[in-house]
């Protein structure tokens, strides 16, 4: 791992911890102000257990929900035509010094891939039927390197852990609107409630930023582990963008809250109908506005191409 990769990873972890710490402090401070008492260690422990339980339930059942949503079928070991996919996953997993995950095929037409899993199901990776028809084997292996990076760095667990925080802040504010608090005027409680709801939105924006960092780090994992990974991933991203139909964009908007959608190799909303060579060249030289991706869970494709450019001849 080089210095740039280490900085990306450290920034991601610290951002997640900062979100958790600040959000917890805000919740405790508001409860004390509005309800007029401090929370004991026992009550704090109960709250933490409740939050952990909710998070654990979501983590455990999410693979089954994802399987239903994307019509996933396990990669058949008896099908000679798909044996090369298994071999590619095992090859890239070996290069990443990790055990190969269970592979599924998503019976959807748009090209994409994502990694997910839980203690009940183990680590899993899904490749869409559309991806297999658009990319060649080298490009698919670069995409696999990206997805294995998510599994290797526990990105799904991180997103689930910090994603519950803005939800708790939002519902606390929502509850205050109707409760009015104790020992304070209703007007003060209402103002605090609105502030909490606004803060939950801000935290969601920050979490999107954390996910963009994780996407960058997953790209780097592919670039430094898969032979010619940087070049092949650049081409793969451009091919996916150039062949993603508009209906896939509408479909993604309907499932935007899914962790799997956040960990997809590519955000379909960035789809552009153009030749992949034209797109790569365009993105290599594009100056991306600072706020271009602030409300996106993936970096702007030009930023991804430009980061990968640093690894092409490494």
For the annotated catalytic residues, the residue numbers are 147
In eight-state DSSP terms, residue 268 is G
Separation of alpha carbons 220 and 8, rounded Å: 10
Q: Which pair of tokens denotes residue 154?
A: 């526990």
Closest listed residue to residue 114, CA positions, set 272, 258, 251: 258
**Residue showing tokens 């009550």:** 43
CB 232, CB 141: distance < 8 Å: yes
Closest listed residue to residue 260, CA positions, set 221, 297, 299, 234: 297
Packing angle, helices 186-225 and 3-35, rounded to 10: 170
Packing angle, helices 155-179 and 41-69, rounded to 10: 120
In eight-state DSSP terms, residue 80 is G
Separation of alpha carbons 224 and 228, rounded Å: 9
CA separation (Å) from 271 to 110, 117, 229, 252? 11, 27, 22, 12
CB 144, CB 87: distance < 8 Å: no
Sheet holding 72-74, edge to edge: 72-74, 102-106, 122-128, 113-118
């Amino acid at each position: 791992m080089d210095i740039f990769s280490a900085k990306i990873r450290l920034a991601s972890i610290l951002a997640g911890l900062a979100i958790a710490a600040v959000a917890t402090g805000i919740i405790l401070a508001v409860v004390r102000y509005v309800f007029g008492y401090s929370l004991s260690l026992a009550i704090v422990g109960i709250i933490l257990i409740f939050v952990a339980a909710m998070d654990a339930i979501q983590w455990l059942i999410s693979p089954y929900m994802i399987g239903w949503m994307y019509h996933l079928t396990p990669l058949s070991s008896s099908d000679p035509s798909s044996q090369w996919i298994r071999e590619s996953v095992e090859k890239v997993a070996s290069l990443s010094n990790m055990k190969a995950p269970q592979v599924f095929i998503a019976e959807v037409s748009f090209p994409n891939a994502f990694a997910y899993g839980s203690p009940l199901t183990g680590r899993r990776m899904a490749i869409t039927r559309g991806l297999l028809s658009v990319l060649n084997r080298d490009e698919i292996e670069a995409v696999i390197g990206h997805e294995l990076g998510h599994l290797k760095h526990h990105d799904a667990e991180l997103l689930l852990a910090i994603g519950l925080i803005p939800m708790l802040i939002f519902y606390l504010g929502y509850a205050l609107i109707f409760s009015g608090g104790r020992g304070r005027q209703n007007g003060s409680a209402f103002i605090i409630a609105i502030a909490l709801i606004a803060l939950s939105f801000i935290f969601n924006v920050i979490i999107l930023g954390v996910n963009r960092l994780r996407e960058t780090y997953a790209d780097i994992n592919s670039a430094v582990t898969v032979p010619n990974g940087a070049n092949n991933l650049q081409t793969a991203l451009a091919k996916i963008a150039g062949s993603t139909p508009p209906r896939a964009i509408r479909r993604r908007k309907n499932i935007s809250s899914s962790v799997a959608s956040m960990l997809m190799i590519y955000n379909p909303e960035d789809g552009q109908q153009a030749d992949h060579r034209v797109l790569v060249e365009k993105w290599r030289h594009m100056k991306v506005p600072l706020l271009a991706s602030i409300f996106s869970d993936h970096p702007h494709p030009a930023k991804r191409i430009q980061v990968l450019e640093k690894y092409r001849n490494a």
